[in-house]
Amino acid sequence: MEENIICAIKLHTNEKQAAHLCKFFKTGKGQYAEGDMFLGLKVPVTRSVAKEFYKTATLEELNNLIKNPYHEIRLAALFMLILKYEKGEKEEKEKIFNLYLENIDYINNWDLVDLSAPKIVGDFTFNSPEVLYELANTNHLWSQRISIVSTLYFIKKDRFDTTLRLSERFLNHKHDLIHKATGWMLREVGKRDLKPLYCFLDKHHKVMPRTMLRYSIEKLSEEKRKFYMQK
């Protein structure tokens, strides 16, 4: 089955698009995704392959595919895990959640995190978010991004406390990818309820990294944006 999935994905290889994706996702020497390899598939195509195979693929096979050197094959494995998780019973969900955490080293780019973390980690930790704080406290970039992006699931349930606490933890983070993710989650909080966003901004806007601040205020009025951008 693994080989069938890999072959189905490689049928859509596009070398020109792959070269573009390597630049877009910063795979050069010293960049955050150094060495990652692309086949050049667009996300809807990868999703379609995942939908075709997820019912028959086993967790063992997906555990292998998530380690594949090609980005789109890892993404397809994540999409299949999501589909299995959504239809699984409690025991199956726990197995998928644990498999996900065991493979964080391979969920190693922002799109892989953003497209999967809320639907698996966010859902599973909704009633016990301690794991998110543990991930945030690591020195591992992708674990930290998973921690904050997973709270998108919480935000959609109108629960903001975990997002706000993690956002405070990341105020002094050095990486732009965490600034962007945190600002994005704060913006999502504001789209649901402006009050907690304003409270956070009133307290922290003078020390927030510029990128985090810009992302968080993107949907506010021009007047509010100008106010918070003044440090």
Residue 83: pLDDT above 80? yes
Q: Which of 206, 109, 189 is nearest to 153 (CA)?
A: 189
**What average pLDDT does this structure show over 75-87?**
98
Task: Indicate if the alpha-carbon torsion angle 29, 33, 38, 43 is positive or negative.
Answer: negative
Please report the pLDDT score of residue 91 as a whole number: 97
Report residue 167's pLDDT band, with 50, 70 and 90 as the boundaries: very high
Q: What is the pTM of this model?
A: 0.96
Please report the pLDDT score of residue 136 as a whole number: 98
Report residue 56's pLDDT band, with 50, 70 and 90 as the boundaries: very high
Please report the pLDDT score of residue 230 as a whole number: 87
CA 29, 32, 34: angle at the middle one, nearest 5? 40
- Give pLDDT tens digits for 4-37: 999 999 999 999 999 999 999 999 999 998 999 9
**What average pLDDT does this structure show over 70-96?**
98
Report residue 52's pLDDT band, with 50, 70 and 90 as the boundaries: very high
Residue 231: pLDDT above 80? no
What the block records as the tokens of 198 is: 């304003």
Residue 222: pLDDT above 90? yes
Where along the chain do the CATH 1.25.10.90 domains lie?
1-108, 125-231
What the block records as the tokens of 25 is: 């996702």
Please report the pLDDT score of residue 108 as a whole number: 96
CATH assignment of 1-108?
1.25.10.90
Cα-only R_g, the chain: 18
- Give pLDDT tens digits for 125-152: 999 999 999 999 999 999 999 999 999 9
- Give pLDDT tens digits for 183-221: 999 999 999 999 999 999 999 999 999 999 999 999 999
CATH assignment of 125-231?
1.25.10.90
What the block records as the tokens of 118 is: 């809320």
Residue 70: pLDDT above 90? yes
Residue 1: pLDDT above 90? no
